[in-house]
């Protein structure tokens, strides 16, 4: 199948080939004909599947005729970064049809947004909070909206936006076409879908499965050795595009600083940064100024950066959905990617849940020559281990973990020999620590990276002060 097969205006074809889309992705194959026929659609698809173009193309086709200067389509997205990305896709196709798109989100001045409303736009890509502010102040009217898209509805729910979404919908005409996309379908999102969609068609790509273009590996390691292990892995990887996920904003900030200190071109992306700084980080990572992005889940939600070779979970995500989301940053649009997860004894339940979702055990890996037995008192204690951990919005399991007394290095254990599955006790437990000769050398570490710092340092050198 190719894009000729859809009843799309032929003006789309050169635009599609200019950006390198030759064949539709599976979600585009399924969703575009339904949306062109005016149907409501519930799309169960992860980011990275091409779902943005799956809704942008039919919307532009629909809006090509009709009035200008009124908002005729609203796309609601959970984060500013995702809103900017979606707006970028509208910008690839809309101008050829005289359609203008604008973003609306908080954390930046409202003035340019007000100017856009005055000038007149047909498409708004918005985060819920700021859009609702504008609506309540009558800065913009949504009375002429024909199409509503709720993107990443599960994340809108996670972030507590569903009441805002319902409030926004009250400003829209009842007669409209509605699309709701979500990677997962918690009950609250299902209820929202029942309320806002009119006899929808469901389009499901891969269900809840984890994207098949990504290979997974676990690196069992004691908590106090995570930074050392990360530095070693990064040193050995052949990559200039790696995203590292941490559990908290504080850890993202400090870890990025540490990587910088050790010669890696790293930048943080976390919710305490201003919107301008977040965008600078993301743009710098996209264009290759930075090779490593150290991010929290919220900040990295939905971001689309092509060519990310590795996602490294410095901290195990709290839920399978968060794992799915994180690893969805690599292996995008039919490329392959690798997902490494550092895990400690405390992560057993989360790992079992991910393995259940995957339907198979994840390979355990160790790094040859890495001293998994190094004790915490041999290193400077890192502030990462002592940093604040949020207690809200996390699973009971992770909350109890946050409250657990600090462990000492000796009891934690590091990675042992690679295992198929089962007990997680990391390589490093003294009894089972691999000898240098017998340790499974990760295939990731066979060649030095062009990014690697000039010298190979010891665990002591990597400690965070
Ligand atoms: P999305 O799931 O919308 O975030 O898209 C993920 C990535 O796939 C983006 O980088 C898109 O540019 C890319 N993409 C979307 N559709 C196609 C296509 N038909 N062919 C190749 N790449 C695509």
The model's pLDDT over 180-214, given as tens digits with 9 standing for 90+, comes to: 998 878 888 888 998 999 999 999 876 444 556 77
Tokens 């055990």 belong to residue: 361
**Helix, strand, coil fractions of the chain, as percent rounded to 5:** 40, 15, 45
Geometric angle at alpha carbon 46, from 332 and 122, rounded to 5°: 95
3-state secondary structure of 453: coil
Above 50 in pLDDT, residue 464?
Answer: no
Taking the centre of ligand 1 as the mean of its atom positions, its distance from the CA of residue 53, in whole angstroms, is: 7
At a CB cut-off of 8 Å and minimum separation 6, what does 7 contact? 33, 36
| Closest CA to ligand 1's atom 16 | 50
Ligand 1, pocket residues at CB < 6 Å: 21, 24-25, 28, 47-53, 304, 306, 332-333
Question: Across 1-5, 148-152, 296-300, 409-413, which has the greatest mean pLDDT?
Answer: 148-152
**pLDDT averaged over the chain?**
80
Say whether 136 sits in a helix, a strand or coil.
Answer: helix
Give the start-to-end residue ranges of the domains of the chain.
Answer: 3-205, 214-441
Q: Which atom of ligand 1 is nearest to the CA of 52?
A: 3
Q: What's the gap in Å between 307 CA and the centre of ligand 1?
A: 12
Q: What's the pLDDT band for 419 if we cut at 50, 70, 90? A: very low
Are 219 and 340 spatial neighbours (Cβ–Cβ below 8 Å)? Answer: yes
What is the per-residue pLDDT for 406?
31
Average pLDDT over residues 83-95: 96
pLDDT in tens, 207-247: 444 556 778 999 999 999 999 999 999 988 878 889 999 99
Identify the CA nearest to 181 among candidates 154, 209, 212, 210.
154
* 19-46 pLDDT per residue, tens: 999 899 989 999 999 999 999 999 988 6
**pLDDT value at position 184?**
78
Q: Work out whether the CA dihedral 444, 450, 456, 459 comes out positive or negative.
A: negative
Residue nearest (by alpha carbon) to ligand 1 atom 1: 50
Tokens 């819920």: give the residue. Answer: 128
> Comparing 3-205 with 214-441, is the CATH topology the same?
yes
C-alpha of residue 146 to centroid of ligand 1, in Å: 25
* Partners of 215 in beta bridges: 338
Among the residue ranges 64-73, 102-111, 391-400, the one predicted with the least confidence is: 391-400
- The neighbouring-strand residues paired with 73 are 123, 147
Is 214-441 assigned to CATH 3.40.50.300?
A: yes
- CA of 103 relative to ligand 1 center, distance in Å: 20
Q: The whole model's pTM is what? A: 0.61
Nearest-CA residue for ligand 1 atom 14 is 50
* Atom 11 (ligand 1) nearest CA: 50
Contact 310, 224 (CB under 8 A): no
Higher pLDDT, 381 or 390: 381
More confident call, 261 vs 1: 261
Is the distance from CB of 35 to CB of 58 less than 8 angstroms?
yes
Architecture of domain 3-205: 3-Layer(aba) Sandwich (3.40)
Of residues 226, 249, 241, the one with CA closest to residue 295? 249
């Amino acid at each position: 199948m190719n894009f000729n097969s859809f009843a799309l205006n032929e003006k789309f074809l050169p635009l599609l080939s200019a950006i390198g889309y030759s064949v539709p992705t599976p979600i585009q194959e399924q969703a575009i004909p339904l949306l062109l026929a005016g149907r409501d659609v519930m799309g169960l698809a992860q980011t990275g599947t091409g779902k943005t173009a799956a809704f942008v193309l039919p919307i532009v086709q629909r809006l090509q005729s009709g009035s200008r200067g009124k908002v005729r389509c609203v796309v609601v997205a959970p984060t500013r970064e995702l809103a900017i990305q979606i707006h970028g896709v509208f910008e690839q196709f809309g101008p050829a049809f005289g359609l203008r798109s604008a973003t609306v989100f908080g954390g930046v001045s409202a003035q340019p947004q007000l100017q856009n409303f005055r000038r007149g736009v047909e498409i708004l890509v918005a985060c819920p909070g700021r859009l609702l502010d504008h609506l309540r102040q009558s800065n913009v009217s949504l009375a002429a909206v024909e199409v509503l898209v709720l993107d990443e509805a599960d994340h809108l729910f996670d972030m507590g936006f569903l009441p805002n979404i319902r409030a926004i919908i009250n400003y829209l005409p009842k007669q409209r076409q509605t699309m709701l996309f979500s990677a997962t379908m918690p009950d609250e999102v299902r209820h929202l879908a029942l309320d806002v969609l009119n006899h929808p068609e469901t389009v499901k790509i891969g269900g809840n499965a984890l994207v098949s273009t990504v290979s997974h590996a676990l690196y069992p390691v004691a908590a106090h050795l995570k930074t050392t292990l990360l530095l070693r892995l990064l040193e050995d990887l052949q990559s200039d595009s790696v995203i590292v996920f941490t559990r908290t904003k504080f850890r993202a900030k400090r870890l990025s600083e540490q990587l910088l200190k050790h010669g890696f071109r790293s930048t943080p992306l976390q919710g305490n940064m201003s919107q301008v700084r977040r965008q600078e980080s993301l743009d710098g990572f996209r264009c290759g100024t930075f090779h490593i992005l150290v991010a929290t889940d919220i900040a990295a939600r939905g971001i689309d950066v092509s060519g990310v070779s590795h996602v490294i979970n410095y901290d195990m995500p709290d839920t399978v959905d968060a794992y799915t989301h994180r690893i969805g940053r690599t292996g995008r649009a039919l490329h392959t990617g690798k997902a490494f997860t550092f895990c400690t004894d405390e992560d057993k339940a989360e790992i079992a849940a991910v393995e259940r979702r995957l339907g198979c055990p994840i390979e355990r890996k160790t790094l040859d020559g890495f001293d998994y037995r190094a004790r915490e008192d041999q290193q400077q204690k890192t502030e990462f281990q002592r940093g604040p951990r949020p207690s809200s919005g996390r699973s009971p399991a992770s909350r109890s973990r946050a409250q657990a007394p600090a462990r000492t290095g000796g009891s934690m254990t590091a990675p042992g020999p690679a295992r198929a599955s089962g007990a997680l006790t990391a390589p490093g437990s003294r009894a089972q620590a691999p000898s240098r000769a017998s340790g499974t050398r990760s295939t990731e570490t066979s060649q030095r990276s062009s990014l690697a710092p000039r010298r190979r340092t010891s665990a002591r050198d990597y400690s965070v002060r």
